[in-house]
C-alpha cells in the first residue's frame, strides 16, 4: 500500500461550543451503533488511575481494557479531565441553533441484547456511495478537493489495481494473503482479500504515461497450501486469480466494531445509540447468512479530555455490551478536530479480531475530522493501510455538521478498505429527512433508505458472497 503524503496542519479557528440538538446526527450514531450490540472498548486513557486489564482471547472474553474500574466517562468523576466545556448541562436555544423539530417518533423496546430502554426513535434517511465502483468520478472529486486547499493526510491511490481471488468453482476466497514485491524483491504491500474475494493494491507512485520506464510488481497470492504468482503492470487495472482451496466454513464469523466520537457534540447520538441498539442486533442475527456475531466498541475524544480512547473488546455477550454502553457519556472536545487517529488505531490494534476467514467491519460515526499533519506514524492515513492489510473494512457514517475535510477523510477510509461512505440525507428545508445531501455526491449516484435499513443492508452485502 502507498505511504501517506503529508499536508500541512490546518485547524479551524472557530470553536464548536455547545452543540445543537441535531436529531439527524443523533440517529446517525444510533443506527450504526445498533449494529454493535456486543462490546465496548480499550483505552489509551492517560489520566485514569488503577487500570484494569481484561484478558482478551480470539474466542471473545470481552471487557474494558486499560480502563479504571469502574470505567468512568464523566469529567471529574475520577478526578481527571479538563472540564465539561459546557456540554453536559448546556441549555440550548433551538431557534438559535436552527435545529428542526424531531420527526414522528416511535418507541423502541425489547431486543436480543437485553437492552429494553423505551425511547423515541427519530426517522432518518441516508445514502451511500461506493467510490471504487465509480473510480473516475472519485478521482475527479479528489482533484477538486486538492485544488480547494483544504488540508488532509493523503494516500496515493491513483494507480489502484483490483485483485480478485476465486476458488476452483468460481466462488470468492476470503482471507487470501497477497504479498506484493517490487523489481528489487522488496515487499511494498501486504493485503488480505475481503468476503467478495477482492483486495486493492495502491502503487506508491503514479505513472507518467509518456515514460518508457514503468514499475513492475509481483503479487504472490496464498491461502493454506495453495499459491499463485501474478505479474502486475501499470497498464492493467484488475486481475483474477484462481486458487485450489476448500470452501469457507458454513457459518460465517462476523466481527463488528463500532468506532465513535464521544465528545460533547455527540451526546444526542450516544443517547440514541443506547435506545436503538437492540432492534439492529436482532436484524443482523436474522440475516440469511446466520452469522456468528461478536461486537466491540472503541470510543475516542481528544487530547486534554478525561480520556483519549477506550475500548470494550469484541464479545458475543450482548448483555455485557449493553451494560458497558449504558455508562458511556459524551463530554469534552471544544474545537472541531478530534483524535480520530488514536481511535482508529485502537479499533484496529486493541480489538481481538478473529482470523482470516472472519468478516471484519468497523462502523465509524463522527461529525468532525481528525487533526491533520501530526505524526505520520500515528495518522489515520497510515492506520487505514494497516487495516486493509488485515482484511478490516471501514464503513464511515458522516453525522450532520461534517465538514469538507471530514468528508474527504471518511471517503479515504472507505475507498482504501473497499467500504462504502454513508451520509445523511435531507428534505428541501435542509433539515428534515429527504433525498438531498450536503456531501459532494451527485443525486444520481445514490439511493435513499432509512438509515437503519441501509446499515443492515450493508452488513448483508458483506455476508452474501460467503453464502453457499
* pLDDT per residue as tens digits for the range 287-313: 999 999 999 999 999 888 888 899 999
pLDDT score at 43: 38
Cβ–Cβ under 8 Å, residues 46 and 309: no
pLDDT score at 373: 84
For 305, phi then psi, to 5°, come to -80, 180
Q: What angle do CA 115, 117, 122 make, to 5 degrees?
A: 110
Q: How far apart are CA 24 and CA 7, in angstroms?
A: 31
pLDDT score at 287: 93
For residue 105, which of 123, 118, 93, 117 has the smallest C-alpha distance? 123
Q: Which residues pair with 229 in a beta bridge?
A: 220
**Position 141 pLDDT exceeds 90:** yes
**Position 153 pLDDT exceeds 80:** yes
Q: What is the pTM of this model?
A: 0.80
For residue 296, which of 68, 54, 122 has the smallest C-alpha distance? 54
As a whole-number percent, the residues of the chain with pLDDT over 70 amount to: 71
Grid coordinates representing 178 are 497477497
Cβ–Cβ under 8 Å, residues 411 and 394: no
Residue 433 — pLDDT band, cuts 50, 70, 90? Answer: confident
* pLDDT per residue as tens digits for the range 176-217: 999 999 999 999 999 999 999 999 999 986 555 556 667 889
As a whole-number percent, the residues of the chain with pLDDT over 90 amount to: 48
Amino acid at each position: 500500500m502507498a505511504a501517506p503524503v503529508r499536508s500541512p496542519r490546518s485547524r479551524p479557528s472557530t470553536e464548536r461550543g455547545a452543540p445543537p440538538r441535531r436529531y439527524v446526527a443523533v440517529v446517525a450514531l444510533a443506527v450504526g451503533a445498533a449494529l454493535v450490540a456486543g462490546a465496548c472498548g480499550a483505552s489509551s486513557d492517560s489520566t485514569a488511575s488503577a487500570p484494569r486489564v481484561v484478558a482478551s482471547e480470539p474466542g471473545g472474553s470481552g471487557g474494558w481494557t486499560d480502563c479504571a474500574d469502574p470505567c468512568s466517562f464523566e469529567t471529574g468523576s475520577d478526578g481527571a479531565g479538563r472540564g465539561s466545556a459546557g456540554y453536559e448541562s448546556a441549555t440550548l436555544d433551538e431557534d438559535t441553533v436552527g435545529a428542526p423539530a424531531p420527526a414522528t417518533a416511535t418507541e423502541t423496546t425489547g431486543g436480543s441484547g437485553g437492552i429494553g430502554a423505551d425511547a423515541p426513535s427519530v426517522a432518518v434517511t441516508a445514502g451511500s456511495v461506493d467510490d471504487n465502483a465509480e473510480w473516475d468520478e472519485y478521482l475527479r472529486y479528489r482533484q477538486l478537493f486538492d485544488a480547494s486547499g483544504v488540508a488532509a493526510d493523503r494516500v496515493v491511490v491513483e494507480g489502484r489495481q483490483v485483485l480478485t481471488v476465486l476458488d476452483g468453482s468460481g466462488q470468492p476466497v476470503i482471507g487470501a494473503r497477497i504479498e506484493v514485491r517490487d523489481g528489487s524483491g522488496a515487499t511494498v504491500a501486504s493485503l488480505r482479500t475481503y468476503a467478495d474475494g477482492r483486495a486493492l493494491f495502491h502503487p506508491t507512485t503514479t505513472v507518467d504515461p509518456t515514460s518508457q520506464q514503468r514499475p513492475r510488481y509481483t503479487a504472490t497470492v496464498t491461502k493454506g497450501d495453495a499459491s499463485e504468482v501474478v505479474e502486475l503492470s501499470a497498464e492493467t487495472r484488475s486481475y483474477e486469480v484462481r486458487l485450489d482451496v476448500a470452501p469457507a466454513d458454513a457459518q460465517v464469523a462476523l466481527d463488528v466494531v463500532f468506532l465513535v466520537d464521544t465528545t460533547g457534540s455527540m451526546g444526542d447520538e450516544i443517547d440514541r445509540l443506547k435506545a436503538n441498539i437492540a432492534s439492529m442486533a436482532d436484524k443482523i442475527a436474522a440475516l440469511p447468512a446466520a452469522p456468528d456475531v461478536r461486537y466491540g466498541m472503541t470510543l475516542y475524544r481528544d487530547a486534554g479530555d478525561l480520556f483519549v480512547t477506550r475500548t470494550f473488546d469484541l464479545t458475543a455477550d450482548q448483555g455485557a455490551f449493553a451494560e458497558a454502553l449504558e455508562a458511556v457519556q459524551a463530554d469534552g472536545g471544544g474545537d472541531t478536530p478530534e483524535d480520530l487517529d488514536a481511535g482508529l488505531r485502537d479499533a484496529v490494534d486493541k480489538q481481538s479480531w478473529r482470523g482470516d476467514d472472519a468478516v471484519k467491519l468497523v462502523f465509524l460515526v463522527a461529525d468532525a475530522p481528525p487533526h491533520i499533519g501530526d505524526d505520520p506514524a500515528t495518522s489515520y492515513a497510515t492506520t487505514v493501510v494497516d487495516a486493509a492489510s488485515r482484511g478490516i473494512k471501514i464503513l464511515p457514517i458522516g453525522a450532520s455538521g461534517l465538514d469538507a475535510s471530514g468528508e474527504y477523510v471518511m471517503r479515504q477510509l472507505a475507498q482504501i478498505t473497499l467500504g462504502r461512505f454513508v451520509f445523511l440525507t435531507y428534505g428541501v428545508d435542509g433539515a428534515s429527512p429527504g433525498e438531498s445531501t450536503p456531501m459532494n455526491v451527485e443525486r444520481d449516484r445514490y439511493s435513499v433508505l432509512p438509515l437503519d435499513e441501509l446499515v443492515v443492508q450493508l452488513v448483508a452485502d458483506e455476508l452474501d458472497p460467503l453464502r453457499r
